[in-house]
Amino acid sequence: MLLEVKNVSIQFGGLKVIEGLNVSMKPGELVGLIGPNGAGKTTAFNLISGIYKPTAGEILFGGENVGQLKAYQVARKGIIRTFQNIRLFPTMSVLDNILVTMHMGCRYSMAHAFLKSPRFFAVEKDFRKDAMALLEIFNLQGLYNHEAGSLPYGLQRKIEIVRALAGHPKLMLLDEPAAGMNHAETEELMGLIQKIRAEFNMAVLLIEHDMKLVMGICERIIVLDHGQCIAEGKPEAIQNNPKVIEAYLGVEDTSA
């Protein structure tokens, strides 16, 4: 098993946001995490990616407990995420945004960088070559020198995902990747996620409110409500699950 979230809970003060959460993922699996607003989806991502630390339970990645590691340590283990709001460096070029992630695996010291040693230039050349190759896979090579913040919203989303790929993750967490996108952009995003999964053989866990996207590409769906898992299964089963329908639509009050 690649990821195992075992009986994880977190509370802020007296408020329990996640309680007894269990999630598991196999290598290469594409899973959706859905639920109504306030269900705890982003909190679950923050726990898995190391931004929050669980108050109970454990998070195993490749069999190793990563629940108490810092976010950058979790990223180096192979869990990389995107956010609801685009977090690109807007005044930097597209290429430089990709290089930022590649420097997570930097192979030279501060001394090499300060002295501009041959090793520094050799590693930077390799990074640039790899970044351009990654941009080319997604037909973004023509934008490498553009300021990231000057590009259309849909392209910025795409670049953010490619930047995450530059860290060579084993598991990518996509937090509402279709937020703010129009229909055509969402269709393109579906193809992009499927391409990432196929070409890079990585697991993808995504939060999304666009049910067409979730039902269209996810093999399995996990449903949260009030910090607890209320359903899990294939898209067809989730669509017809009474607990899921109740969580999203509520139930009619027949007491009146």
pLDDT of residue 45: 96
* Residue 222 forms part of a structural domain: yes
Residue 121 has pLDDT above 60, yes or no: yes
Mean pLDDT comparison of 7-16, 58-67, 107-116, 129-138, highest-scoring range: 58-67
Under the banding of pLDDT at 50, 70 and 90, the label for residue 254 is very low
Cβ atoms of 148 and 56 within 8 Å: the answer is no
The span from the CA of 201 to the CA of 176, in Å, is 21
**Which pLDDT tens digit goes with each residue over 43-74?**
999 999 999 999 999 999 999 999 999 999 99
* Residue 255 forms part of a structural domain: no
* Residue 254 forms part of a structural domain: no
Under the banding of pLDDT at 50, 70 and 90, the label for residue 251 is low
- Coil, strand, or helix at residue 116? coil
DSSP character at residue 197: H
* Residue 29 forms part of a structural domain: yes
The span from the CA of 166 to the CA of 80, in Å, is 10
**Which pLDDT tens digit goes with each residue over 67-119?**
999 999 999 999 999 988 888 999 999 999 999 988 777 776 777 777 778 88
Under the banding of pLDDT at 50, 70 and 90, the label for residue 250 is low
* Residue 177 forms part of a structural domain: yes
* Residue 58 forms part of a structural domain: yes
Domain count across the chain:
1
* Residue 256 forms part of a structural domain: no
Verdict on whether the full-model pTM lies above 0.85: yes
The span from the CA of 104 to the CA of 73, in Å, is 10
**Which pLDDT tens digit goes with each residue over 172-192?**
999 999 888 888 888 888 888
pLDDT of residue 199: 85
DSSP assignment string, 151-176: S-HHHHHHHHHHHHHTT--SEEEEES
Q: Which domain holds residue 95?
A: 3-249
**Which pLDDT tens digit goes with each residue over 182-236?**
888 888 888 889 888 888 889 999 999 888 899 999 999 999 999 999 999 999 9
* Residue 20 forms part of a structural domain: yes
Q: Specify the CATH number for the domain of residue 45.
A: 3.40.50.300
- The amino acid occupying position 39 is A
